[in-house]
Structure 1
């Protein structure tokens, strides 16, 4: 283990990493390679790999090391897990801590209780939705959402336009994010948005490498909402790492959520809208879209 070389996450390695990401699809936002690149500034992460998988080593601001689920086939998960632990124990001289572990991985690993603590973490459960329902907003459960959608269309009739964007809109998107930050009161939340903006800028600058789509809504020729999504055919799932809208415009969030799927991913079966970060307001909002199920995640701590 002493001779293991940690590698930084570089754009040149995207195709190599994608190969490993496709080996196992646990339906988590963390299994979306787009997320890894987008948040690498906020959560500095390195990796080492062999022919069976990719193992992660990350370090927090308070100098604590942690990992996440190795990217590999199910049958190789135990071996890659213990390779990760070996690196932590022998090289870092630390006990292994692994975050956002999906339930399938927990079941496969079947770790002994006397050696590990396995804790469910509701904060990071992902919300998965019926993508076709989000397009139509049909049925009693979506009655309020449909009302908001219709109210937006009525109020701004003839004044709004949905458009797909690309990197040529870089400056406009970055200006929008800077203005969006002003809606937030807490310093920590503003810093989080700063990291998010850095990640979005990175995606735009490497548009030729990543496979994603950007949807937007303009009102009176002014950008008022945008979202980013990408698709994995293995689970027939759209992942939404970014969605922003002017909170003062009724129905705008509902409109862009629905319209983006109609235009960009009309045939997708499911949509993962990620976790709620434990924020009460965000949790209420995500639940209001009627998830069909939650993707459970756990923390594993070596005793």
Structure 2
């Protein structure tokens, strides 16, 4: 048998969502909404059976698999051999990215090179910490929220389709200062897909209305039984403290029943890393790149 990748579809994402209920997924890369929303930018393809799910991505001319998900009791060796054969037909060694530590056992070190990749580690926070913001380490965040509440009367809304056009307008306002950055266009495409497939992907969102206009919004989904993941968070930075408010309000209003919040990686960007570290993650979700050797 050969691996049979095809472009991921709505039907695939429904089947994949059902399949991964047997796994405890922690890495944001394997979240069904992440795969579907960014499917065009990352050219996401899938091969899925009752025994396994394998995702293939091509981004900036680099082709790689995400960590293969294989049902317990199924021999991984034939599946990995099929993946290898696919890469060998493309005249390259097999490459796997965003592999969590718990799946490294699939890759014996005599056949693979295992490389920690801090750039793509996810930030995992305690939900309670992000809601309550207790202690000296969150003093600055509390100050930002208090100042915002003092100066700006606002209303929180759980996101519904009626809010989508205003959220897109806000995104374009945010994007106006970032012309020429391809990542912004990719995020725009993903956001439009989120609004188009909001129900299919079981997304939840929240928005802040200030002076009659949506000035901040956030969108997320459930990653596993304990964890929610934040896919988008955008705000009008002209309102000082607004990011701290949408962060807290969105988690408190939509995800208070979770233990953890995954806020994805920082893409190696110093400013984004600093912003995420200021919220004091509970821990990092480590990811590794795995490369076949001797191919």
Q: Provide the residue aligned with 1:283 in structure 2.
A: 273
Q: Provide the residue aligned with 1:168 in structure 2.
A: 162
- 2:230 counterpart SS class: strand
Shift of 1:22: 2.1
Q: 1:139 to 1:281 in 2, by over 3 A?
A: same
Comparing 11-20 with 80-89, which one deviates more in the overlay?
A: 80-89
Q: Provide the residue aligned with 1:238 in structure 2.
A: 228
Q: Which runs of 5+ in 1 are unaligned?
A: none
Shift of 1:178: 1.4
Shift of 1:138: 1.2
C-alpha separation between the residues in 2 aligned to 1:138 and 1:122? 28
- 1:250 counterpart SS class: coil
Shift of 1:213: 0.8
Q: Which runs of 5+ in 2 are unaligned?
A: none
After TM superposition, the structure 1 = structure 2 runs for residues 53-68 of structure 1, keeping only pairs within 5 Å, are: 53-62=52-61, 64-68=62-66
Does 1:28 find its partner at 2:27? Answer: yes
Tell me, yes or no, if the aligned pair for 1:23 and 1:72 is still in contact at 8 Å.
Answer: no
- 1:182 counterpart SS class: helix
Shift of 1:284: 0.4
Does 1:125 find its partner at 2:116? Answer: no
Shift of 1:184: 2.3
Q: TM-score, normalised by structure 2?
A: 0.92
Shift of 1:270: 0.6
Tell me, yes or no, if the aligned pair for 1:29 and 1:274 is still in contact at 8 Å.
Answer: yes
Q: 1:252 aligns with which of 242, 254, 259?
A: 242
Tell me, yes or no, if the aligned pair for 1:21 and 1:72 is still in contact at 8 Å.
Answer: no
Q: CA RMSD in A?
A: 1.8
Shift of 1:74: 5.1
Deviations along 1:259-292, one digit per CA (max 9) or x if unpaired, are: 1111111221110000000000000000000101
Q: Provide the residue aligned with 2:44 in structure 1.
A: 45
Tell me, yes or no, if the aligned pair for 1:126 and 1:295 is still in contact at 8 Å.
Answer: yes
The count of aligned residue pairs is: 292
Deviations along 1:143-185, one digit per CA (max 9) or x if unpaired, are: 11111111111111xx211111122323222222111101326
Tell me, yes or no, if the aligned pair for 1:77 and 1:109 is still in contact at 8 Å.
Answer: no
Q: Provide the residue aligned with 2:174 in structure 1.
A: 180
Does 1:72 find its partner at 2:70? Answer: yes
